[in-house]
Amino acid sequence: MPPERLIGWFGTHERDLPWRDPACTGWQILVSEIMLQQTPVSRVLEPWRMWVERWPVPSAMAVEPAGEVLRAWGKLGYPRRALRLHECSKVLARDHGDRVPDDVETMLTLPGIGDYTARAVACFAYGQAVPVVDTNVRRVIARAVHGREQPGNPSRRDLDDAEALLPRSGAPRFSAALMELGALVCTARNPKCDNCPLVDCTWVRRGRPAHTGPPRKAQKFAGTDRQVRGLLLDVLRGTTGSVDRAKLDVVWTSDTAQRDRALDSLLVDGLVEITTDGRYCLAGEG
Ligand code: SF4
């Protein structure tokens, strides 16, 4: 994969995303990476701007109750991310001089920071030549390098593959370009090969063999526990205090066992708490 060609393509096709501003701090980039993990760019733009204005440094978030962070998370989905980021802000403020450390090993000790996030922050915030592997990168490598339409299950090999591609200089820009190519051109369905800078792509040279592994699971939302959890959280986000159980029960009446299960899981995850008088509130607001 010729790095200069990919980086050249990135130079003219890079999206103007606010967290790519060179003035962004490690903390601001960390916030963007956490938000982007399971939510599309278009839905992250506005919340990210609000968050970095409201909480420009970790200590600004750390002094807030967790519920306030969950409220600001709004409908970004998978709200445990917000809770973990709040925990992370406390550790950063207390132990790391109110900034995100710049080495992967230390970042991996922080709450909610996994392999991908640690490397993404090291690369995009601190310019380090570390491999950054997300779903898009895995797909581009599967096609362009291995000649397969879809990547296999995530494994350590993904990092090795990405590391082997990194150029001697300009590695962070190359990594950003690879991710961008997967997001804009080498998409899961209907890759736009005619507009792709990787004309020597192995999958295309092999005649685009069809995926032979297990079919990709479609992500359902309607009717799932995740939907019910979201409805319950909506009630609590919409109030500044606690609510009684009846206010929660009305949001999902078609399957009361499912509703109870969803509420229990919110309690277990620490997103919701029960007050001493038996009412329900967001974490830290009891
Ligand atoms: S040529 Fe097509 S399949 Fe190959 S990397 Fe480019 S977009 Fe993806």
CB 180 within 8 A of CB 132: no
Extents of the domains making up the chain: 25-124, 225-282
Q: Find out whether the beta carbon of 119 lies less than 6 Å from any atom of ligand 1.
A: no
How does the average pLDDT of the chain come out, rounded? 94
Q: Which of 191, 233, 192, 188 is nearest to 215 (CA)?
A: 188
Cα of 198 vs centre of ligand 1, distance in Å, is 6
Q: Which atom of ligand 1 is nearest to the CA of 185?
A: 7
- Is the pLDDT confidence value at 275 over 90? yes
Q: Find out whether the beta carbon of 6 lies less than 6 Å from any atom of ligand 1.
A: no
Catalytic residues: 33
Determine phi and psi for 221, rounding to 5 degrees. -130, -50
Cα–Cα distance for residue pair 40/242, rounded to 1 Å: 31
- Is the pLDDT confidence value at 215 over 90? no
Cα of 150 vs centre of ligand 1, distance in Å, is 12
Cα of 192 vs centre of ligand 1, distance in Å, is 7
The pLDDT value given to residue 286: 79
Mean pLDDT within 37-42: 92
- Is the pLDDT confidence value at 216 over 80? no
Residue 274, H or E segment: strand 272-274
The pLDDT value given to residue 220: 81
Q: Find out whether the beta carbon of 143 lies less than 6 Å from any atom of ligand 1.
A: yes
User: For residue 38, what pLDDT band results from cuts at 50, 70 and 90?
Assistant: confident
The pLDDT value given to residue 104: 96
Return the amino acid letter for 183: A
Which residue, judged by its Cα, is nearest atom 1 of ligand 1? 193
Mean pLDDT within 174-197: 95
Which percentage of the chain shows pLDDT scores above 90?
Answer: 87
Which residue, judged by its Cα, is nearest atom 2 of ligand 1? 193
Looking at domain 25-124, its CATH architecture is Orthogonal Bundle (1.10)
The pLDDT value given to residue 263: 96
The pLDDT value given to residue 143: 96
Mean pLDDT within 267-279: 95
User: For residue 223, what pLDDT band results from cuts at 50, 70 and 90?
Assistant: confident
pLDDT in tens, 231-266: 999 999 999 889 999 999 999 999 999 999 999 999
β-strands 272-274, 280-282 pairing: antiparallel
CA 274, 276, 279, 284 torsion: positive or negative?
A: negative
Q: Which fold has domain 225-282?
A: Arc Repressor Mutant, subunit A (1.10.10)
**Which has the minimum average pLDDT: 131-135, 148-152, 219-223?**
219-223
The pLDDT value given to residue 108: 97
Mean pLDDT within 175-203: 94
The pLDDT value given to residue 63: 97
The pLDDT value given to residue 262: 96
- Is the pLDDT confidence value at 218 over 80? no
Q: How far is CA 75 from the centre of its chain?
A: 14
More confident residue, 26 or 216: 26
Q: Find out whether the beta carbon of 85 lies less than 6 Å from any atom of ligand 1.
A: no
pLDDT in tens, 73-114: 999 999 999 999 999 999 999 999 999 999 999 999 999 999
- Is the pLDDT confidence value at 20 over 90? yes
- What pTM was computed for the model? 0.92
Cα–Cα distance for residue pair 54/18, rounded to 1 Å: 16
pLDDT in tens, 186-198: 999 999 999 999 9
